[in-house]
């Protein structure tokens, strides 16, 4: 229509970067958004291209910078598979397309990931718009039992695919009673209760999310403390192993108390039929 409009761009971090908990050697889980008017809107200047093409080129350049090879190895590994439709989706999404996907098509595990997501680069207006959308999506009331089953099924699939532990070695992240179990419990509780306790969506890091669940009375003081301590201890061990360029595994007896503490809470909260306890949502 001949009217000039600003087209804004934002980078959304998921995972450990989104949760302000980067490990040594963590991937960067990134999603790229723009709020332009789509293919009908063109860039200014003598060599005009449509905005989606411009932002796709920009994102390719950003990924190139972030994955630069240095004398010590690659700067970062970038994972963009959390974008709408994963590998089949566009590298950079319009805000409207992202919102529509999250509301209409996203799987439960994608909403779990959204609980750890935040804007790390972009104008404040677009960051606020994203935060509002995130709150709206995660505040939708879910049927607790169906949600619990979906979260447990996804966790079991992850464990079967990614757990590298053996009878002698415990996978600190993917093993039963490890970091991923803690994260999944927290995400389940947030999805189950955020419609009643919106403050649960204030933070994206696991520790402060645990604090929020404790304040809301969703987790007991004892359970929250055990999960916080286990999370910190397991992550501290992973940091040390990463610096030694070793796998994130420890002798089974070394982590026995921590992993069993987490596993007991998991069984009680996530597998009530097996323990005879109520999950409480």
What CATH number does the domain containing 110 carry? 3.30.460.10
* DSSP string across 195-232: TT-GGGGS--SHHHHHHHHHHTTSS-HHHHHHHHHHHH
The domain boundary residue, chosen from 107, 138, 169: 138
Which pLDDT does position 279 carry in this prediction?
45
The domain boundary residue, chosen from 103, 138, 173: 138
Give me the torsion for CA of 30, 144, 132, 92, rounded to 10°: 30
Q: Output DSSP code: residue 23.
A: P
Which pLDDT does position 268 carry in this prediction?
96
Residues of the chain with pLDDT under 70: 1-5, 37-47, 274-281
The answer to whether the CB of 110 falls within 8 A of the CB of 6 is no
φ, ψ at 10 (rounded to 5°): -140, 150
Which pLDDT does position 95 carry in this prediction?
95
Would 30 be classed as within a structural domain? yes
pTM of the model: 0.91
For residue 175, give its domain range: 144-275
Give me the torsion for CA of 74, 53, 31, 78, rounded to 10°: -10
């Amino acid at each position: 229509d001949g009217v000039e409009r600003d087209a804004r761009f934002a980078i959304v971090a998921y995972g450990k970067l989104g949760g302000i908990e980067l490990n040594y050697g963590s991937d960067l889980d990134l999603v790229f958004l723009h709020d332009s008017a789509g293919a009908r809107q063109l860039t200014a200047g003598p060599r005009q291209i449509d905005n989606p093409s411009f932002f796709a080129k920009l994102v390719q350049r950003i990924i190139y910078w972030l994955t630069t090879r240095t004398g010590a190895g690659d700067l970062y590994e970038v994972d963009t598979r959390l974008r709408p439709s994963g590998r089949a989706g566009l590298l950079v999404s319009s805000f409207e397309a992202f919102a529509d996907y999250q509301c209409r098509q996203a799987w439960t595990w994608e909403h779990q990931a959204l609980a750890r997501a935040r804007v790390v680069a972009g104008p404040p207006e677009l960051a606020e718009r994203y935060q509002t959308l995130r709150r709206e999506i995660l505040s939708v009331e879910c049927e607790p039992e169906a949600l619990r089953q979906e979260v447990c099924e996804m966790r079991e699939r992850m464990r079967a695919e990614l757990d590298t532990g053996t009878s002698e070695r415990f996978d600190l992240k993917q093993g039963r009673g490890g970091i991923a179990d803690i994260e999944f419990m927290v995400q389940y509780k947030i999805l189950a209760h955020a419609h009643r306790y919106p403050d649960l969506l204030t933070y994206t890091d696991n520790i402060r999310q645990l604090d929020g669940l404790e304040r809301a009375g969703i987790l007991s003081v004892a359970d929250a403390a055990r999960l916080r301590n286990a999370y910190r201890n397991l992550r501290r061990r992973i940091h040390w192993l990463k610096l030694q360029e070793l796998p994130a595994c420890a002798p089974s007896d070394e982590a026995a108390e921590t992993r069993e503490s987490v596993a007991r809470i998991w069984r009680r909260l996530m597998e009530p039929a097996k323990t005879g306890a109520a999950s409480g949502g």
